[in-house]
Structure 1
Amino acid sequence: MRAEIISIGTELLLGEIVDTNTPFLANQLSLLGIDLYFTSAVGDNSERLSRVLKQAWQRSELILTTGGLGPTQDDITREAIARLLGEEIKVDPGLKEDIVNFFAQRGLEMPPTNIKQATLIPSATALPNPQGTAPGWWVEKDGRIIVAMPGPPSEMQFMWQNEVFPRLQDGAGAIILSRVVKIFGLSEPKVDELVAHLLSSPNPTMGVYAKLDGVHLRITAKATQRKEAEE
């Protein structure tokens, strides 16, 4: 399965916040044996987000998005997914009730703008978010999956661990395991020369990187069982 991660939010492009969601998800995908091929960040712009989603739909089987599920006008992830799939977005009474109750438990009334967080398209299933007011979406269509999750890391990670990871785990049949060997006293070109005959291996794969504490040789293996990958 080819996976892609799209981080959504203009604040990411302005450097106002650091994207910690992508590294977290990349690590989690490796535990599932799912190959991550692409990552990208896009601002809160309808045209550009639609273009990025369309490209992801054409080249990936699993698309993970974070951000853009809030109640404001610049939260446009749901609308972009609905437009991509040509489906109508509608308010779900059950989701609306959940959000109303979320505010009521805090002695508040639900602001009218939050109603957009209670919407679904026909191919989407809501992913509960007890940490906030933004449910996620699990979308399946034409052999592909889109998972839309909130941008705040605490909400995203909770949803991933409790809703998304278990669903993907049911269909996972592999594990990706990486190990790093630190090498001292040799330059990066020299290490590259010594392992050149191994670098073209499709499994395990290898990479050579110059770091402050020496040269790192990364070895990554994919197998159906952890023991097999370690060997």
Structure 2
Amino acid sequence: LRQALQLGADLVGGHTIVDADGKRHIDTILNLAREFDVEAEFHLDESGNREHYLLPYLARRMMELGLQGRVTGIHCCTLSALTPEERREALELIRESSLKIISAPTAIATRALAPVKELLAAGVLVGIGSDNVRDFFNPIGCGDIKQVALLLAYVQRFFTAEDIKQLWDMLTGKGAALLGCEGYGIAVGRRADVTVLAAHSPVEVLAKQAAPAVLIRGGRDVTEEILGS
């Protein structure tokens, strides 16, 4: 990892469950992130088992090292196994450390996911991820984030108008914020990167799994170039 960062890698990642000492694993990754001034990402608490619960340790270490808002936790399933009081304490730590969360339901929908609605209500920056694209863990993963959002909608009942609005925001504005994309959105002076989907509303996008109709990159129509005729 150190060599990769020395060669210019702009992010460092870890996976707490694959190391016998998860806390040492977290310390190693966070120290590298601080040393090379990059953000860090962890597959965190993926099993959903309380014995693997390291989110509080990660959040506290982030604050001790001055890495607030520079770390993302993917999965965080153990949050759903906590008592209400434990979950309140965890949400407070997430807010204090500005830990960002990504839910990747296509990877682990057979177990309880992180409580996305509660995280959003607490003001946590939450995004949606695919985790796997046609690999050993998910040979049918295609990387289409609309599919992932649809599964999350079913599993955690994102069905009201407000729910759909929040889900769409995770696919767009919140997703961009989580990735640190500057100048995101349509406005005068911003880069003209636009994807037009063949639907009239976010609900229709999810229900139809609407395909891209027009692709604009840097102000240039690249639809035929990317999608073909």
TM-score between the two structures when normalised by the length of structure 1: 0.28
Q: Which has the higher contact order (CA 8 A, sep 6+)?
A: 1
TM-score between the two structures when normalised by the length of structure 2: 0.29
More helix by percentage: 2
Point out the structure with max Rg over C-alpha.
Answer: 1
